[in-house]
Amino acid sequence: MTGAMRWEGVSLRLAGWKAGPGHRWPGWQVIALVDGRQAGSVQFHAHPRGAAVAVSMLEVLDGFRGRGLASLLIDTVYEAYPDAWVDHGVRTIDGAHWWDAYRDPAPGRNIHNRPPGEWAAYFMASRVAADKTRNASWNRHFGLDGHGGAEYRYRQRLEMEFIGHDKSFLRRVDMPQADPTAQALHAGQLVHLPPRLHRYVHDPGNPAEQRAHALLDHLGHGNLPRPEDHTGWWNTTPGAALDDAVHRELAAGGQGPGLPATQLVFHALPLPDEIPEYESAGSYLEYTSSGDVPVELAGLSWRQSSAPQTLHSAIFDLPVEAAVPPLYPQAASDSYLERYDEAGALRTPPTPWEQLIAGRAGELRAVADRLLDGIAARAAAAPPSPPAPGPTRADDPRQPPPAPTPRPRLP
């Protein structure tokens, strides 16, 4: 990699990567930023003790290619794990051309170059054989060298040898798992607030707890995040949750509703022993139940994305009841429907009159029916009314004659 000019304005960010709870190793990513905008990234899973790395995705966005960013990202992974076996996986068409021009800084740690007996405890050998075959087919199709000379048994049939090593693969690795009953958990979210509310919650002159309640009232107590678009995972540390909100904003690439962004973290207390279904992935988990998940919030933290050095926090005097919403309305529990409306907002408390008549609809309907029946019965029993007098006419003989008109006297 030569030419310092192409690295001008580039910075790298190493952070966690939420690839889903299914993988046995924690996920990580290196994000390349150019003048503060995400230009590319590499996502990978790393063995908890740093013994091996599996690259899942390497991507450079349009407008930033041709500057060596992909090579910089992979070199950074090598540097971050100096003793690890590295599996580059299967390559796309673009990836095959990039790999052909790339110079591997440590070919001896690339598992595609070594016999499976050396690394089969970390990677399933039969899958690696399939990846090698696919990569070789791209090289052959496009006439690429692809560093085939360095690969172990390049373009040879590998099934029998590699399948024999699958029994060495360690499917499970002992590492701490997030447990919603044993520890507080934290979920990040990126929100765009109306200007007036944005100014209020970021003004340290206002009481922190009141600002936190204003945020909850706006977002909805029953509308805590579920996993989507980099956010909504429940983490064992607040910092990981805040990173989720940051990654959501970076992935958006500046596209948004035109309102200033707020990076928000919900702090939830441990759940009681009776909990919904969930899947843990080391330092975070996902609630997999389709129903709602009631939680108690201990507090909130938030900051402006444009002023990340100022973090606002509020710890509630008493835990606040909240909930992760159901995946669809039919999965909502009765208690959720009673407490929250369709948008997850708290239902308006009933007035004293509504409390008085609550549950008495049948009784009140019966009283109304009796009153209406009584009115109808009285109307039926009443004697008929006399006919109304007709209109009078001037020539009616029954009418008295009109008074004579006085005549004036003559002298």
The tokens describing 37, both together, are: 């905008």
265 against 371, higher pLDDT: 265
Q: Band of the pLDDT at 3, cuts 50, 70, 90?
A: very low
**Rounded CA separation 374/372 (Å):** 5
Q: Indicate the pLDDT class of residue 168, thresholds 50, 70 and 90.
A: confident
Q: How many CB atoms lie within 10 A of CB 9?
A: 12
In the structure, what pLDDT confidence band is assigned to residue 222 with cuts at 50, 70 and 90? very high
> In this structure, how many other beta carbons lie within 10 angstroms of the beta carbon of residue 208?
16
Output phi, psi for 19, to 5 deg: -95, 0
Sheet strand arrangement including 85-87: 10-16, 27-34, 37-46, 52-60, 85-87
pLDDT digits 0-9 by tens, 41-83: 999 999 989 999 999 999 999 889 888 999 999 999 999 999 9
Is the pLDDT assigned to residue 350 strictly greater than 60?
Answer: yes
Residue 97: both structure tokens together = 């051309």
Average pLDDT along the chain: 86
Higher pLDDT, 16 or 199: 199
- Residue 395 — φ and ψ, nearest 5°? -95, 15
Over residues 101-145, the pLDDT tens digits come to 999 999 999 999 999 999 999 999 999 999 999 999 999 999 999
Please give the model's pTM, rounded to 2 decimal places: 0.73
Radius of gyration of the chain measured on its C-alpha atoms: 37
Residue closest to 215 by CA, chosen among 233, 193, 196, 230: 193
